[in-house]
Amino acid sequence: MSSPMDGPMDGDRHGSASRWAGGPMSEPAEGAATAGDPVLLIRDVTKVYGEGEATVRALRGVSLTVEPGDYVAIMGASGSGKSTLMNIIGCLDVPTAGTYLLGGVDVGALDEVRQARVRNRRIGFIFQSFNLIPRMTALANVELPLAYGGVRAAERRRRALAALGLVGLSDRVGHQPNELSGGQQQRVAVARALVTSPTLLLADEPTGALDSTSTRDVLAIFDRLSLGGRTIVVITHEDDVAAHAKRVVRLMDGRIVDDRRQAPVDGPPPLIGDRPATGAMSER
């Protein structure tokens, strides 16, 4: 592991497990993390929208296991159900049937407050459309999850600055989203997702709205995060993006049709070092 991965990532899997100790979910969370259980365990998940004639079956029984440190790309054409799967994994939506364990915890069984806590601490979300909060500086945006997590102001600022440094935006901390380019906004979003040291980094078409240069920047960050041992799940329909992942899962019509491993779980991501890191990142 390289030194640039210090800072907001210092809490690795074991670290985050210890933070959960004492919380309402402490026992299952600890058990999951220390025993090397899968980060993500989905079994026979289905999702049905609408009723009667207008019924849409977005997921028709998906089972998926993601090991700690894996870098999974979920691919599929539009309408294949990948966004629905993503929302379920991200605790934004609940499956119609099936079980979903995040670090050994059945998320669907949790109450509102605990679900919010799971979203806050265990999942880092990166959206296609960045979803930064307007009229708030990059720093304030990155600090936000920590604020909701109850972290003290000074500590929050330190971690947010470290996360922004990691994505090469130390010189943009005071800028509002509308003063940043798309690539920069997405890097702020990545920093925001990283800042709580989540067990799972979840990205929904993270490069869908970016040009090729920004896409390379963001994918390079993902590669380095994967190298640092972070578990990443990326939803995409682009082969270029999937090529960076250690494992590619293809969805079609709400079912998994292909599951291919490109690199071992505990090895480096396949395309790491293929291209030089960006200037901003090589400084660190």
Partner 1 sequence: MNVLEITRFAVRGLTANKMRSILTMLGILIGVAAVILLVAVGQGSSDVIKQRIQSLGANTLTVSASFSGGFGGPAGRGGGGAAGPRTQARGLTLEDARAIASSGDAPSVKSVSPLVTSSSATTTYEGASHSISQVVGTYPSYFEATNKSVTSGAYFTNQDVTAVRKVVVIGKTVADELFGQVDPVGKKVNIQGAGFTVVGVLKESGSTGGQDADDVAVAPLPAVQQSLTGYGSLGGIVVQATSAETTDAAEAEITAILDQRHEITGSATADYRILNQASLQETVTEATGTFTVLLAAVAAISLLVGGIGITNIMLVTVTERTREIGIRKAIGAPRGAILGQFLIEATLLSLVGGLLGVGVAVAGSRFTIAGVQPVIVPQSIVLALGVSVAIGLFFGSYPANRAAKLRPIEALRFE
If we measure between CA atoms, which residue out of 209, 166, 205, 242 comes closest to residue 10?
166
Stretch that binds partner 1, among 58-66, 67-75, 109-117, 221-229 (CB under 8 A): 109-117
Q: From CA 282, how far away is CA 2, in angstroms rounded? A: 12
Q: Which is nearer to partner 1, 84 or 214 (CB)?
A: 84
Of residues 47 and 244, the one with the C-beta less far from partner 1:
47
Q: Based on the shown chain and the rule CB under 8 A, indicate whether residue 159 belongs to the binding site for partner 1.
A: no
Question: Of 4, 37, 79, 147, which lies in the binding site for partner 1, with binding defined by CB under 8 A?
Answer: 147
Q: Stretches 15-23, 102-110, 119-127, 276-284: which one binds partner 1 (CB under 8 A)?
A: 119-127
Residue 100 pairs in a beta bridge with 42
131 binds partner 1 (CB under 8 A): yes
Q: Where are the alpha helices (DSSP H) in 21-137?
A: 26-34, 82-89, 112-121
Q: Which of 46, 48, 148, 209 lies at the binding interface for partner 1 (CB under 8 A)?
A: 148
> Which one, 20 or 127, has the nearer CB to partner 1?
127
- The answer to whether 195 and 220 are in contact (CB under 8 A) is no
Query: How big is the site for partner 1, counted in residues (CB under 8 A)?
Result: 28
Which amino acid, 77? A
Phi first, then psi, for residue 115 (nearest 5°) are -65, -40
Question: For residues 65 and 32, what is the distance between their CA atoms, to the nearest angstrom?
Answer: 13
Q: Name the one range near partner 1 by CB under 8 A: 15-23, 143-151, 171-179, 235-243.
A: 143-151
Residue among 19, 57, 98, 136 that touches partner 1 (CB under 8 A): 136
At CB < 8 A and 24+ separation, what contacts does 109-117 make?
Answer: 110/25, 114/24, 114/25, 115/91, 116/148, 117/23, 117/25
d(CA 149, CA 257): 38
Torsion sign across C-alpha atoms 209, 212, 213, 215:
positive
Binders in 47-66 for partner 1, by CB under 8 A: none
Q: Which one of residues 16, 184, 185, 196 is an interface residue with partner 1 (CB under 8 A)?
A: 196
Q: Which is nearer to partner 1, 86 or 169 (CB)?
A: 86
CA–CA gap between residue 4 and residue 102 (Å, rounded) = 28
To partner 1, the closest distance from the beta carbon of 214 in angstroms equals 20
Q: Which stretch binds partner 1 (CB under 8 A): 5-13, 147-155, 205-213, 217-225?
A: 147-155
Whether 144 and 138 have beta carbons less than 8 Å apart is answered as: no
Residue 145 binds to partner 1 (criterion: CB under 8 A): yes
Query: Residue 84 carries which side chain, given as an amino acid letter?
Result: T
Nearer of residues 148 and 255 to partner 1, judged by Cβ: 148
144-152, 164-172, 210-218, 239-247 -> range binding partner 1 (CB under 8 A): 144-152
Which DSSP state fits 260? E
**Binding span for partner 1 by CB under 8 A among 121-129, 227-235, 241-249, 264-272:** 121-129
Contact 130, 209 (CB under 8 A): yes
Residue ranges that bind partner 1, judged by CB under 8 A: 87, 90, 92-93, 112-113, 116-121, 125, 127, 131-136, 144-145, 147-150, 192, 196
